Amino acid sequence: MHLHNFDLMTDTDINHLHALFMGSTGVNTDSRTIKPGEIFFAIKGENFDGNEYAEKALEAGAAYAIVSAGSAAAESAGKDSRIIPVEDTLYTLKALARTHRCQMAPGGKRLPVIGLTGTNGKTTTKELIRAVLEKKYRVTATQGNLNNEIGVPLSLLKITDETQIAVIEMGASHPGDIKSLVEVSMPDYGLITNVGKGHLLGFGSYEGVRKTKGELYDYIRDTGGKIFLNEDLPYLQEMASERGIEDIIPYGVNYDGVKILPPDPEKPFIRMEIPVSCTETCTLETNLVGRYNAENIMAAISVGKYFGVPVAEIIEAISGYTPSNNRSQLTRTARNTLIIDAYNANPVSMEAALDNLGTIPAGRKAAMLGDMLELGADSAAEHDRILRRVAGMGLVEAFFVGDEFGAAFSRCGTPAGCRHFGTSGQLAEYLEGRGLSGYTILIKGSRGTHMENVIPAL
């Protein structure tokens, strides 16, 4: 649903709801995790209806339940003042979040909100920005990857009276998704990490992805905000230029004259030599795997500098950041070194991960790759391309998981040293009997392939 008009709910209604929220312990959309004093929003999706769990939420201690008018739950509203029927619970959640974002004003000034989107690197960049800004400010940032039409409002509602800056991550899988989210979060600053071939099934084409991500720039242009722009990516320059955006805070690995240092065989993390003055540089050591993370790091450095965080503290924050949730993680087991980048995958991020594997100085290297999902008509060509790319890398072994790679094997044949499995569970079972040892292994695939299932067998 797109929010073009917030007048569907009167100011009196939303201000009353906001007053209830400010007296509550928070908002929750999952009746299974309700804490006493929270407001339960009964969200209705394709495969679930939160209205069916409103009574359970109240029994668990919810202060109020916001339910759909006309639902069975709403029939009890007259007898129970804790039940509040509304026309559209998701719309109401968004309206509440927008109101809260506007009313939270540290020192009487507008709360700065940084809106962040992109095909790859959103969550890592957001976490790096959070770590840097927390050196100087009290920051509220998106938790995990709660970046959709439910997650963004929930993130905004985490803002407190003490918050000085908010960093809101926004994801998209269909045209208009970012437009909807910026109308709720109202960012003052925009940052697009990159634009690539992700969720093509929903967007229809790369141009569809570009147009949707550009909705963040559209909002910034229309509201007089600023954008952090990676000057190393010409298409981002073009997207800003064609919109006439002039208030730009530039950054980039090449733009800033940064040197990527060779990886250490014992610690193959990204290392960077960064100019801090005309005559002085500093070396940044990180816990992130992958040259592609240099762009994410430079975004965080740019944001930190703009908001006045001292360079030494920016370096300290980034050096101390350790990735989690299967994103750019390096893990050593008793037998192997694992590069775990299994949270998601698309052609751009898969290529970047393979590029990185190629640069790591290790004797025995292998890849375990799951399908790249939601690519629509481009899926066959992209999976064929990745299969051929891996076949030419000189890896000791490569393992592929999923129907899309299975179809690629049928079209392209089975390259030497490559094996295909229908599921990650089947690959894990095979690996249990193999006892691979002494390998450096890249593990990557779309979330739906659950490539993390292979980790215990390694």
Strand, coil or helix: what is 120?
coil
Query: In the prediction, which pLDDT does 7 show?
Result: 40
Can you give the pLDDT at residue 326?
Answer: 66
Q: What confidence score (pLDDT) does residue 3 get? A: 34
Could you please state the CATH topology (level 3) that the domain comprising 329-457 is classified under: Protein-Tyrosine Phosphatase; Chain A (3.90.190)
Tell me, what's the pLDDT at 129? 98
- At residue 5, the pLDDT reads 39
Residue 2: predicted pLDDT? 32
Fold for domain 104-320? UDP-N-acetylmuramoyl-L-alanine:D-glutamate ligase (3.40.1190)
pLDDT at 198: 60
Domain regions of the chain by residue span: 6-92, 104-320, 329-457
Query: Which pLDDT score, from 0 to 100, does residue 210 have?
Result: 86
Low-confidence spans in the chain with pLDDT less than 50? 1-8
Count CA within 13 A, CB hemisphere, residue 316: 9
Q: Are 458 and 335 in contact (CB under 8 A)?
A: yes
Q: What is the pLDDT of residues 92-104, one digit of tens each?
A: 999 999 999 999 9
Strands, DSSP E only, in 296-414? 329-332, 337-341, 365-370, 397-401
To which residue do tokens 């800033």 refer?
Answer: 256
- The CATH number of the structural domain formed by 6-92 is 3.40.1390.10
Q: What is the pLDDT of residue 6?
A: 39
271 close to 294: Cβ distance less than 8 angstroms: no
